[in-house]
Amino acid sequence: MNGAWPPSCLRVGEVDMEGDAFRVEKEEGVARCTMDGPNMNALGVEMVTGMLEGLRRVLDDEEVRVIVIRGEGGNFSAGADLSLMGEKMDPALLAETMRAMGRLIRELHEGPRPLIAEVDGWTVGGAFGLAMASDITYATERARFYLSFVRISLVPDFGSAYFLARRVGLARAKEIALTGRVIDAEEALRIGMVNRVLDHGEISGEVMRLAKRLAGRPPDILAHTKRFVNTAFTVDLGTQLDLEAYLQSLNVTTPEHREDVRKFLEKAGGGGG
């Protein structure tokens, strides 16, 4: 199905940029997207609706240069709302939802804007995939990652297996997916699932500082850099080098590059470190 999400039968109310379950705040080129719903920010109807609509507006907003995704209340997200699963779930509706979320996750991952995940507490099921789709992942000391699908006789979704294998390697990803064991913050950092582990009282400030710093860089450079790293596993070395040569020859002519070089030389000449 390629129809618009959500279907009319599930439109329980419009969820805008300041919706109850999913809200977006913009500051200095950063879109701070927060899941704030019941059952540990479970991905229920209101949350998914708000996420699809809110993130679509973010992706269409030319003023946004960096996206942050996070959860309120001490957890990232508990994943699917299990009260809607089992005998209550319409398979056709599920397929439509997953395709809509899949398109969004792909656009977030492959699109030009850096995506930063701020992970506190539990990250379960589909939310695991959303966190792993990010370009940079910061977690708190109390973060717990739970690829739980095998425990409820389902397969990983929202790109979980795809992103996990690229972060930790094929063998380790298979072990995590097949056993459904919980990964704590220390192990997540050690095996490369996350970039940093921070105190839960400090993570939000640190993430926003990073996001604003990135937002201050030229958007084309952020986009090209992200694309280069994303394609490192899908193109041969020759193609990558040719693309680098082409884009670098354009970038050296930009006023942003020339100003950065001028500032660097001025600082170096003045004895700055």
Q: What is the CATH number of the domain that holds 197?
A: 3.90.226.10
195 and 112 within one domain:
yes
Of 215, 239, 261, which marks where a domain is finished? 215
> How is residue 62 annotated by DSSP?
T
Domain count, the chain: 2
pLDDT at 133: 96
pLDDT at 271: 47
Note if the bond before 255 is cis, omega within 30 degrees: no
168 and 255 within one domain:
no
Strand ordering across the sheet containing 144-146 = 122-124, 144-146, 182-184
Range of the domain at 65: 8-215
261 lies in some domain: yes
263 lies in some domain: yes
Alpha helices in the chain (DSSP H): 38-41, 45-60, 91-110, 126-132, 160-168, 170-179, 185-191, 203-215, 219-230, 237-251, 255-269
Q: Which tokens go with 183?
A: 């990964």
Other C-beta atoms lying within 10 Å of the C-beta of residue 131: 28
245 and 124 within one domain:
no
Let me know the angle formed at the C-alpha of 246 by 244 and 249, rounded to the nearest 5 degrees: 100
Alpha helices in 111-199 (DSSP H): 126-132, 160-168, 170-179, 185-191
Question: Which class for 91: exposed (0-12), middle (13-18), buried (19 or more C-beta within 10 A)?
Answer: exposed
pLDDT at 10: 34
CA–CA gap between residue 137 and residue 134 (Å, rounded): 6
223 and 98 within one domain:
no
Other C-beta atoms lying within 10 Å of the C-beta of residue 97: 24
Of 170, 199, 215, which marks where a domain is finished? 215
146 and 27 within one domain:
yes
Q: Which tokens go with 29?
A: 């080129």
CA–CA gap between residue 240 and residue 194 (Å, rounded): 26
> How is residue 151 annotated by DSSP?
G
42 lies in some domain: yes
258 and 133 within one domain:
no
30 and 13 within one domain:
yes
1 lies in some domain: no
196 and 237 within one domain:
no
205 lies in some domain: yes
227 and 147 within one domain:
no
206 and 248 within one domain:
no
172 and 64 within one domain:
yes
225 and 211 within one domain:
no
CA–CA gap between residue 165 and residue 183 (Å, rounded): 15
Of 173, 189, 215, which marks where a domain is finished? 215
Q: Which tokens go with 134?
A: 């990010």
Q: Which tokens go with 178?
A: 């097949």
pLDDT at 19: 64
**What is the pTM for the complete model shown?**
0.88
CA–CA gap between residue 158 and residue 125 (Å, rounded): 8
3 lies in some domain: no
204 lies in some domain: yes
Q: Which tokens go with 21?
A: 């379950």
> Residue-wise pLDDT tens for the chain (273 aa)?
333 334 333 333 333 444 689 999 999 999 999 999 999 999 988 999 999 999 999 999 999 999 999 999 999 999 988 777 777 778 888 888 889 999 999 999 999 999 999 999 999 999 999 999 999 999 999 999 999 999 999 999 999 999 999 999 999 999 999 999 999 999 999 999 999 999 999 999 999 999 999 999 999 999 999 999 999 988 999 999 999 999 999 999 999 999 999 999 998 875 444
